């Protein structure tokens, strides 16, 4: 490596995590995150998203593979140095972990006090962080007196207390309305703009689409796509045109439009994604349901939780059938 080239801040090298009973949480995933990047990790429940956090903070050890934080091998950090390492990470947990008996100000100060900072430095930093998340006027309140968006902002401020190199937010907009969700993402975007690497784990497809950042997509423990970082989307692999598609292309490009006549229904059928074609072969009823719900792309399906699919009328048997199709689809790629 060139001496002027920066190391990735995160480097997962063929990392696997298998829990007792043979439950595979991560299956040989590899990815790098550069300093200053903003990235999303997305995928259905059980895809392995939270396992990545637990491995990064060394709450758990990988079964195989290596994890580096810059030039530090995370898997070999001794217990006595673990707290120093974790100070370089700011984690906004899904359950926030705010201390209910402490005010907003005290929750933020607590994160600073455990690093033995001086009182004037603690006060200055706390005021600065309250400013960043726009909570100066709410600093005297306790967590149960705050709205969901305000609690999330307190958690972000506390995660920033030690000026981390990497900020990870686990489902930061999960229970928020659109206005509050966008405010949270605006704060995270600003933090990233100041130089902090930001990684967001989310199910919120709307936020992901609007932010237009790098998206690492997990499914069943595998990294199936890495959009915005040179790895082609799994659902958009270049495909050879079907015979019927080539006929339609010829029909539209030839001067003599009577050379080829295509049945409109057949043309529409030819434009169905390979994924839907795979579903149709397996289960025609499921195929019709997916088309009706406009879930015509595998990425749309992978982004949905079981609960969201069930709300649309998909039964357990449909989910099992869908799981089989997805597995076969990727195995064939």
| pLDDT < 50 stretches in the chain | 230-248, 250-251, 255-271
What pLDDT score was predicted for residue 55?
96
The CA radius of gyration of the chain, in Å to the nearest whole number, is: 24
What pLDDT score was predicted for residue 5?
65
Domains of the chain: 1-88+166-231 (3.40.50.300), 98-163 (no CATH), 243-332 (no CATH)
What pLDDT score was predicted for residue 288?
82
What pLDDT score was predicted for residue 287?
83
- Give the Cβ contact number of residue 144 at 10 Å: 8
DSSP 146: S
What pLDDT score was predicted for residue 286?
84
Burial 293-331 (b: 16+ CB within 10 A, else e): eebebbbebbbbeeeebeeeebeeebeebbeebbeebee
Q: Report how far apart, in Å, the C-alpha atoms of 122 and of each of 100, 142, 145 are.
A: 20, 19, 24
Token reading at 234: 């799994």
Token reading at 286: 């499921």
160 contact partners, CB below 8 Å, separation of at least 6: 90, 129, 132, 167, 191, 196
C-alpha distance across the termini of the chain, in Å: 33
Question: Taking Cα atoms as reference points, which of 113, 104, 110 lies closest to residue 132?
Answer: 104
Residue 252 CA, distance from chain mean position:
41
Beta strand 38-42 with 197-201: parallel, antiparallel or unpaired? Answer: parallel
Question: Taking Cα atoms as reference points, which of 250, 252, 314 lies closest to residue 283?
Answer: 314
DSSP 59: S
CA distance 220 to 104: 38
Q: Say if residue 120 is exposed, middle or buried (CB neighbours under 10 Å; 0-12, 13-18, 19+).
A: exposed
The sheet that has 72-73: what strands, in order across it? Answer: 23-33, 10-19, 64-69, 72-73
Contact between residue 65 and residue 28 where contact means Cβ atoms under 8 Å apart: yes
pLDDT tens digits along 195-224: 999 999 998 888 898 899 999 999 999 999
Record the pTM: 0.67
Residue 49 CA, distance from chain mean position:
7
- Give the Cβ contact number of residue 181 at 10 Å: 22
């Amino acid at each position: 490596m060139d001496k002027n080239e920066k190391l990735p801040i995160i480097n997962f090298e063929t990392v696997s995590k298998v829990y007792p009973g043979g439950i595979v949480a991560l299956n040989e995933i590899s990815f790098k995150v550069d300093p200053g990047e903003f990235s999303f990790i997305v995928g259905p429940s059980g895809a392995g998203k939270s396992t990545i956090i637990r491995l990064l903070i060394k709450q758990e050890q990988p079964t195989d593979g290596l994890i580096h934080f810059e030039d530090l091998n995370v898997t070999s950090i001794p217990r006595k140095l673990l707290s120093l390492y974790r100070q370089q990470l700011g984690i906004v947990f899904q359950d926030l972990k705010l201390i209910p008996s402490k005010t907003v100000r005290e929750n933020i100060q607590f994160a600073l006090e455990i690093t033995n900072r001086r009182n004037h430095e603690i006060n200055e930093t706390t005021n600065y962080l309250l400013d960043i998340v726009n909570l100066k006027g709410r600093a005297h309140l306790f967590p149960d007196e705050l709205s969901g968006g305000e609690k999330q902002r307190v958690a972000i401020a506390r995660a920033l207390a030690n000026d981390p190199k990497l900020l990870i937010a686990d489902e930061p907009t999960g229970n928020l309305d659109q206005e509050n969700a966008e405010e949270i993402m605006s704060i995270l975007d600003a933090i990233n703009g100041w130089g902090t690497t930001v990684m967001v784990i989310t199910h919120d497809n709307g936020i992901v689409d609007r932010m237009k950042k790098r998206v690492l997509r997990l499914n069943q423990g595998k990294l199936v796509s890495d959009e915005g970082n040179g790895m082609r989307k799994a659902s958009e692999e270049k495909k050879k045109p079907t015979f019927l598609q080539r006929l339609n292309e010829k029909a539209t490009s030839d001067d003599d439009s009577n050379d080829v006549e295509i049945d409109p229904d057949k043309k529409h059928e030819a434009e169905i994604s390979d994924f839907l074609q795979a579903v149709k072969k397996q289960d025609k009823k499921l195929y019709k349901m997916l088309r009706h719900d406009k879930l015509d792309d595998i990425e749309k399906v992978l982004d949905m939780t079981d609960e969201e699919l069930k709300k649309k009328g998909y039964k357990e048997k449909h989910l099992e059938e869908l799981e089989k199709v997805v597995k076969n689809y990727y195995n064939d790629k």
